[in-house]
Structure 1
């Protein structure tokens, strides 16, 4: 099977021989992938000229409802995606994060769009600014969709979620998207895009797909376009330096894999709920998706006097992890996404072991359920311990797999310094039951992180965990993590819109924004606005009541009626 691209309103299959994509479990051929023959400039023009105007025709609420309908459509077909997802090495739990977690972002952004954005074409930013003395000249900041295309370059680890978490805010903003999935797992992205197109819920040109290389696509971008990239920092920096992106000041949002940490508070003792939570969270982040998560815990920062207890508990827990075919219900960790990915992880691991001791995962022999180690991309979880906390290579080298390093610390300031050595992270977590410790560590570490989870037993039951980005919250981080943000509710929608300060008379600004501005004309009608139907209301409809004197009796009667007897209302001045 050769994967197809969706360009200019039709499916395209390259006639050229492509890269072979293998099943992560057994090495069998899944598909070939090539984008040779695509005209990438045509794809951009199609999005700009067909997709963009079609989307901008609708209001925020109408586009939000499209997301809801699309989410329902895909959720009804989720088992189709689960079936193919196993070939990526994902267990049912891993796939749930990718498939249903991805679809849920459509529902969240649909709700955000209908609750927090107007049923119009302009989004207001901040309050009206009254500039002149008499109020005849005023100003307001607004957001409107950019008139270009958003190029989404995604990572291999989440072929569904990675696409949908970018697509949802983009489409809500009114901007078409060109999706470029990572080749290793692009067959699952292609399958979902086929169902998106089949649904006919989105206007034509809203979504296009590149299966294979982007070719010269990025060289044709202009200032109205945007790029959202997820992947390695090295690749992201190369893309940012493309002349067209630099010369045209193209919006570029980069989310790069980072050396995320989890700090155990000094108050946490072995046998406590928080200690057990820490062990559970760390082991889960090492094994879910076989550690192939940009948010996984790479550095476990532990009080030095708890190091042995943590190591012992982690070894005991990891030794119970069953590896093998993810289709087997007893398997807790499947293979990595590809043989090449496993070899890359092993290369990085060999660098890490030069100054870190392996505590678990030394053996190269694997016990697998329903799988052959010679054919699949399997490897054991590996837990290490830093010999020198300040200079360990774990602060610089990431092995994008089931690998983590225990790093001991002395006092809280030392823990914060160690966290900062990651040079910017997507997420960090703090496990403590002491609010003072949590406050000091959070304030100290926040500048180095895009998101912080403060976890204790009181919230653990409902916590979404260290490694789960949520569409309501920003996903991104400073420094090594890319210096950008994704999602975050309406914040993520604004990335695909232009903020403009508009100035003029209140009446003009009311007409442009669709919101009444102070100083605009009021429409006084004999019918009270509350008595009108929604479709009968106009902006500026008002009611003017006759003047009357408020007496003390009126105030006391209102206080008795409402129960509001606050002294400032009742006492005589």
Structure 2
């Protein structure tokens, strides 16, 4: 399918003769190829976005929202195809692909399609003798990851378009196919030429060309901390705005009075969502020392629900990891946990029985993990859950905050007010209390090395605006 790149309102050949193979992680078979991309492709795409910027920025907000509404409708109409594509591309189990990978982008796009609400969010305000106006930041380079490939595209592109920015997108080369479906939907929505552009390729070539380009005014990046640091360094030469959504090592603090069965069940589901390939995964479960054995028993029993299998099968809860490299990385962390003295409750580094083909990892639980162990400190990005114990609430909070990350967390208690008070003490961008559900209108982003800036809702819209004060 994707043999070209999308620039200036149409499909065109890449300047690079090289291609990237797209591999189905369940079968290890090549299912498609995409252009490897070249720096000159980025130059042409950025030039198109720059030409389109003035006209798009001058388009009324309500009309820009109308285009986003059309994109949302296109995403909804093609949701089954999108889900199937992401299952084949990423390995996400079919049911999760349908409920999350395909449905969430529709919700997010629709949240930015209300013309009246967006106009109000971007409206001028009076501060003393100043008129404060919000203007689009300019040409945005969006660099997106493979784990939630379409959601991360929509979370960047939709608010950027509403703010009046034009966009050059580089999707992950590991799972690029849904980005091509998105480009088709954008084309069908009739956006003016150059407002949205797609250049596939690798980070060192296409990603860096976007980050360093003098005519790109902002880079919005989601991915690993290492790659995010590199994007920041490259972008610094032109002092452009950089928004980063990076990794996490999120704590799940279960206080002594909590409903332990409910907390463990929800925590296990969160940690293993998308095979653990989720930046907000609650991979550190903190339980009171007196309830350690009960928690381990509940986890052992709960693992029976997490069927490993073909991601295309409806009963599958855990499919393969996205690539051989990711599988090997996760297995390496499991071996490290064993070497450092953690207790293996279930799983391990051997392939699941019957899965010699495909990038599968056993759903794994470690107990007796200490805060200094590698598996408690580094993001694993696989189905690996660590159980840590504490004696006092202050110790639990200290362990929760003893990380270089700060993306997400959870707190469980029979007293919601008490849980909320503990949540305030945790240094993370979003904290669930007693299983509070994800809110696509709330700000999403992290503290510390989990990045900077916020996505989603009015907070995400603000990221793509410059603020000007006109004194009168």
TM-score interval, normalised by the smaller of the two chains: over 0.9
- Distance apart, 1:2 and its partner CA: 5.3
Q: Does the CA-based 8 Å contact 1:64-1:114 persist in structure 2?
A: no
- Distance apart, 1:367 and its partner CA: 4.1
- 2:19 matches 1:18: yes
| Post-superposition CA distance 1:506-531 (Å, at most 9, x none) | xxxxxxxxxxxxxxxxxxxxxxxxxx
Runs of 4+ in 1 over 3 A off after TM superposition: 35-38
| Post-superposition CA distance 1:397-456 (Å, at most 9, x none) | 1211111100101111001100111223211111111145314412221xx10011111x
- 2:467 matches 1:499: yes
Q: Which residue of 2 aligns with 1:80?
A: 81
Q: Which residue of 2 aligns with 1:434?
A: 415
Q: Which residue of 1 aligns with 2:173?
A: 183
| Post-superposition CA distance 1:256-310 (Å, at most 9, x none) | 1110111001212xxxxx2222122122123221111011111111111111111
- Distance apart, 1:13 and its partner CA: 3.6
Q: Which residue of 1 aligns with 2:348?
A: 362
Which one of 295, 314, 338 corresponds to residue 299 of structure 2?
314
Q: C-alpha separation between the residues in 2 aligned to 1:330 and 1:40?
A: 42
TM-score by length of 2: 0.93
- 2:383 matches 1:384: no
Q: Structure 1 residues 128, 398: closer, same or farther in 2, change over 3 A?
A: closer
- 2:223 matches 1:231: yes
- Distance apart, 1:27 and its partner CA: 1.1
Alignment of 1:69-108 (within 5 A): 69-87=70-88, 88-95=90-97, 96-108=99-111
Which one of 332, 343, 350 corresponds to residue 335 of structure 2?
350
Between 1:435-444 and 1:63-72, the stretch displaced more is 435-444
Alignment of 1:34-49 (within 5 A): 34-37=35-38, 38-49=40-51
Give the aligned length: 464
| Structure 2 segments unaligned to the other structure (5+ residues) | none
- Distance apart, 1:490 and its partner CA: 1.6
Q: C-alpha separation between the residues in 2 aligned to 1:290 and 1:490?
A: 30
- Distance apart, 1:60 and its partner CA: 1.7
Q: Which residue of 2 aligns with 1:141?
A: 132
Q: Which residue of 2 aligns with 1:152?
A: 142
Q: Structure 1 residues 100, 435: closer, same or farther in 2, change over 3 A?
A: closer
Q: C-alpha separation between the residues in 2 aligned to 1:224 and 1:118?
A: 27
Q: Does the CA-based 8 Å contact 1:3-1:187 persist in structure 2?
A: no
Q: Does the CA-based 8 Å contact 2:85-2:178 persist in structure 1?
A: yes
- Distance apart, 1:396 and its partner CA: 2.0
Classify the secondary structure of the residue corresponding to 2:236: helix
Please tell me the root mean square deviation across aligned C-alpha atoms, in Å: 2.1
Classify the secondary structure of the residue corresponding to 2:455: strand
Q: Which residue of 1 aligns with 2:188?
A: 198
Q: Structure 1 residues 387, 347: closer, same or farther in 2, change over 3 A?
A: closer
Q: Which residue of 2 aligns with 1:449?
A: 428
Q: Structure 1 residues 91, 431: closer, same or farther in 2, change over 3 A?
A: same
Q: C-alpha separation between the residues in 1 aligned to 2:451 and 2:421?
A: 26
Q: Which residue of 2 aligns with 1:527?
A: none
| Structure 1 segments unaligned to the other structure (5+ residues) | 130-137, 269-273, 505-573
Q: Does the CA-based 8 Å contact 1:92-1:326 persist in structure 2?
A: yes
Q: Which residue of 2 aligns with 1:55?
A: 56
Q: Does the CA-based 8 Å contact 1:180-1:210 persist in structure 2?
A: yes
Q: Does the CA-based 8 Å contact 2:133-2:469 persist in structure 1?
A: yes
Classify the secondary structure of the residue corresponding to 1:143: strand
Q: C-alpha separation between the residues in 1 aligned to 2:373 and 2:422?
A: 21
Classify the secondary structure of the residue corresponding to 2:133: strand
Between 1:391-400 and 1:11-20, the stretch displaced more is 11-20
Q: Does the CA-based 8 Å contact 2:369-2:376 persist in structure 1?
A: no
Q: Which residue of 2 aligns with 1:420?
A: 401
Classify the secondary structure of the residue corresponding to 2:403: coil
Q: C-alpha separation between the residues in 2 aligned to 1:285 and 1:118?
A: 35
Q: C-alpha separation between the residues in 1 aligned to 2:308 and 2:349?
A: 14
Q: Does the CA-based 8 Å contact 2:334-2:348 persist in structure 1?
A: no
Q: C-alpha separation between the residues in 2 aligned to 1:354 and 1:203?
A: 57
Classify the secondary structure of the residue corresponding to 1:449: coil
Between 1:283-292 and 1:430-439, the stretch displaced more is 430-439
